[in-house]
Structure 1
Amino acid sequence: MGALFFTYTTLSLRLHQRMLSNAFDLGIFEQVVKSYAEGHLPLSEIKGPDFPVMGDHFHPILASVAPFYRLWPSPMVLLVVQAALIAVSVLPLTLWARRALGSGAAGVIGVCYGLSWGIASAVGMDFHEVAFAVPLLAFSLTALGNDRLVAAACWALPLLLVKEDLGLTVAVIGVLIARRGARRLGIATAAIGVVGAALAMFVILPAFNPKGGYAYLHWLPGAGGGEGGEGGEGGLAELLFKGTIGLITPEAKVTTLLFVLAPTLFLALRSPLLWVVLPTLLWRFASGLWTHWGTSYHYSLVLMPIVFAAFVDALSRRQPSGKSLRRYLVGSVVVTTLFLPQFPLWQLVKPETWRTDPRVAVAHRLMDRVPDGATIQASNQLVPQLTDRTKASLYGWPDSRPHPEWIMVDTQVPLSRRWPLNPMEERISLDRALMQGYRTVAERDGFVLLTRSG
């Protein structure tokens, strides 16, 4: 656990130091935690001028990071907290494996889980609130697999405070508790999960959202509009047909499903604990947003403790012989090792990770010229470097605060990392700012710093 914490922390801090973290989402979450630390409900300047984030996603558990942020007001504290949360989740799974399968098997399973691709993807992609779900799921499913049903429910219920969709995950855990014999407890847990998710999505979030409603329903087929959404004119039967086919197409969804199960050599399919992945997989595969379908970003983080809990459960149920157990463990090691080079943890062995581009120092010298508390629009990778002391928003994002006091743009960002403006749009936008009264304070090594005249 300690070694993995050090690994996760090293990677995420190094990415931030190299200015490879992003406004979406490290910058947003720092603004959320900073709001809690200042004693008020969370606001995010990146989402919009004084945007109430409780109208975007329901994650009040982030308030627990506020005391740490008061001690260390930096986006790096969020990255360290995330590393700690994920590392702690190794403990219950490994201890369960040790009791059921022996110390050697426990060590192998703990390492394969800790280095699994879903965790690697999340650690290499900023901070996200679902990091809190990982230890809660690991402790809950370990308790469930060992018939400690009250503990399983107690560990699951705080998931309602992590993100609005996780209430459905709580509901599935409740169903499994009921199937294990604690019918009243299971039904109560499932009911609380469903009601909690419904309250978050259809009452709390719409109440805070300036535009009303739950902001992400448009991603679903038939909801109307949205990126990749389907219009609703073909009738219910056509909608259901398209929705069913859409759960397995395009092929990125099948690839993700295979990647989820491969580290356990598909043995996780033999455990009922695997049912807990269904809510997350269903909303991801039903979404019209392509980034939800694949293996990148943080979306598979919550699946990893579930799959490996199912792996331990299946192995303990089968009670394989020593030779058979070794085959499963060796197979898991091989799959994990084959996946590693494709995901961010592999960056730790690359020489370029440990080289600092001289432009980083130039950027910080220019950012130091922006006074504390100023409003500023900046390029994506610059925003998280500014959120701790300014009201920073994303340059070129349509919802950013108009007419900020400062603008800072990195004109040499590689095309693969450019967002939301392409080079031509960025140049046109900068020229327009100069015509609207901004003046150039500095222009060095591709960085342009503007401020309003007068």
Structure 2
Amino acid sequence: MPSSEATLPWTLAAVFFALYAALSIRLHQRLLTTGYDLGIFEQAVRSYAHGHLPVSALKGPGFNLLGDHFSPVLATLAPFYRLFPSPLTLLVAQAALLAVAVVPLSRWAYRSHGRAAALVVGIGHGLSWGIASTVGFDFHAVCFAVPLLALSVTALGNGRPRAAAAWALPLLLVKEDLGLTVMLIGGYIAWRGSRRLGLATAAAGLAGTLLEMFVLIPAFNPGNGYAYSGSITGGGRSDSALLDLLHLPVDLITPQTKVITLLVLLAPTAFMALRSPLVLLVLPTIGWRFVSENQAYWGTDHHYSAVLIPIVFGAFVHSLGRWAPGTSPQDRRTLRSGLAVSGAVTLLLVPGFPLSRLAEPATWQTAPRAAAAHRVMDRIPDGATVAASNRLVPQLTDRCTVTLFGFHGVPLTADWIVVDTEAPMGFPLSARDEAHALDRARDDGFRTVTQDDGFLLLHRSAP
């Protein structure tokens, strides 16, 4: 293997790791991470690190996170968290997992189409909006799926069905819906000739999703079943299943937010990913998101599209061999044109997504209010029970038992309350409702300990 072929993918991965980690760490240091979701995942990993099931007080008293989403893969972070008990451990791990996904894809592109293709594919994946949106919004278990999918799709494209299945099956431990993607990977393997292996992989994927959604998750969350069934099956437009089915094609492309998501998903590949059957692997994730009534699933925000990025870039590499299969002048021109369009679109999209914040001076400046927040929170002893504002939660979850102040259905049992009254986030309470909740807390025996630059700390008085 030429030295540049070996080193280029890892060099790209190292650069993107540094970018992702820098952005994540600075967001946390500037109090821009949240309890929903970084705090929840840290509580789960913290539980694993101490030999317990993943309990998250933010979801409810004694709530086992395996009863929310089936993500036992989080336990692999426990040894690292035991050594470095901090939310930054999760953020740095996520940065590493997302960055390493460029290695198999850019290596495949290098071997198949040369150095320029490797650079375009590696940079395109690394700067993609789906990865950037994930980095810019806390931590999520789907970060484990990104390198697994990159490895599996690369194996599929290179005719290595056993490796593809081996990398795909661990997706069942990342999140319950990913078994449907495993099912399609198995179907692709069977279609390409490894019938027995493909059918077994497909069966394992489907069975895994059904088992997790309807047996394991309800077992960890008795009485509530699977809370996200509507995210997979849709909420239903009417009382008639037939009418819902007939309207499904329209639901998949309306409103226009869904079309925009599809366009920006495929545009960085110059739409060439559509020439590869590998692109069909996006269908399970796109399907459950677009039939859902939850509008947050339709667009480009948050982490929902992270698992799509390695699929479309794998399909892109695969399609380059179909579009320009030879070394003739015409094929070389076609290859250069596709790569040029891909690179241009990637760069044009960067300013609209979180990685562009690295170029903003504010990212590297910490407002004085952050110091005030830490002065206030330093008054809370280790091991205390705390109800906190959403953006203050992950500043405390490494040393306290923390709930979200004012969250519906979660009783106020904490001994401490810490909130940002000057710049409330609006979740879970509006500024007005938060003020009323603080008044009720004072009526219940909480007294002000300190107030600094809008950060308010209260402690429950002894009866």
Query: TM (normalized to structure 2)?
Result: 0.94
Quick one: distance in 2 between partners of 1:401 and 1:26? Answer: 21
Count of aligned residue pairs for this structure pair: 445
Instruction: Quote how far apart the aligned CAs of 1:399 are.
Output: 3.1
Q: Deviations over 1:219-255 (max 9, x none)?
A: 4666xxxxxx34652x222121343322211111111
Q: Secondary structure at the match of 1:49?
A: coil
Q: Aligned to 1:421, which of 406, 429, 434?
A: 429
Q: Superposed, which structure 2 residues align to 1:356-395 within 5 Å?
A: 356-395=366-405
What is the deviation of 1:217? 1.5
Q: Indicate conservation of the 8 Å contact 2:323/2:334, yes or no.
A: no
Task: State which of 87, 112, 119 in structure 2 corresponds to 1:75.
Answer: 87
Tell me whether 1:167 sits opposite 2:167 in the alignment. Answer: no
Contact 1:45–1:401 under 8 Å retained in 2: no
- What does 1:96-245 align with in structure 2 at a 5 Å threshold? 96-219=108-231, 229-230=235-236, 232-233=238-239, 235-245=240-250
What's the secondary structure of 1:442's corresponding residue?
A: strand
Cα deviation for residue 9 of structure 1 reads 0.4
* Letter of the 1:328 counterpart: G
Q: Which runs of 5+ in 2 are unaligned?
A: 1-12, 326-330
Determine the C-alpha separation between the residues in 1 that align with 2:411 and 2:333. Answer: 63
Query: Which residue in 1 is equivalent to 2:70?
Result: 58
Q: What is residue 362 of structure 2 aligned with on the other side?
A: 352
The residue that corresponds to 2:438 in the other structure is 430
Native 8 Å contact 2:324 2:332 kept in 1: no
Aligned amino acid, residue 402 of structure 2: A
Letter in 2 for 1:125: F
SS in 2 for 1:67: helix
Counterpart residue type for residue 290 of structure 1: Q
What is the root-mean-square deviation in Å for CA atoms of aligned residues?
A: 1.2
* 1:246-274 Cα distance to aligned partner (Å, 9 max, x none): 22111111110111101001100000100
Alpha-carbon distance in 1 for matches of 2:317, 2:248: 33
- Between the aligned partners of 1:216 and 1:117, the Cα distance in structure 2 is 25
Q: Which amino acid aligns with 1:122?
A: T
Counterpart check, 1:450 vs 2:462: no
**AA at the equivalent of 1:244:** P
Partner of 1:281: 286
Partner Cα distance (2:375, 2:346) in 1:
41
Q: Which amino acid aligns with 1:422?
A: S
SS in 2 for 1:260: helix
State whether structure 2 residue 306 is matched by structure 1 residue 298. Answer: no
CA pair 399-240 structure 1, distance change in 2 beyond 3 A:
same
> Which range moved further: 117-126 or 427-436?
427-436
Residue 319 of structure 1 is aligned with which of 321, 324, 336? 324
Contact 1:377 1:404 in 2 (8 A): yes
Instruction: State the AA in 2 paired with 1:352.
Output: A
Q: 1:255 aligns with which of 230, 252, 260?
A: 260
Shift >3 Å, 4+ stretches: 218-222, 229-232
Q: CA deviation at 1:299?
A: 0.4
Deviations 1:292-331 (A, max 9, x none): 0000000000000000000000002222622221111111
When normalised by structure 1's length, the TM-score is: 0.96
2: CA distance, partners of 1:341 / 1:400: 39
Shift of 1:411: 1.1
- List runs of 5+ in structure 1 lacking aligned partners: 223-228
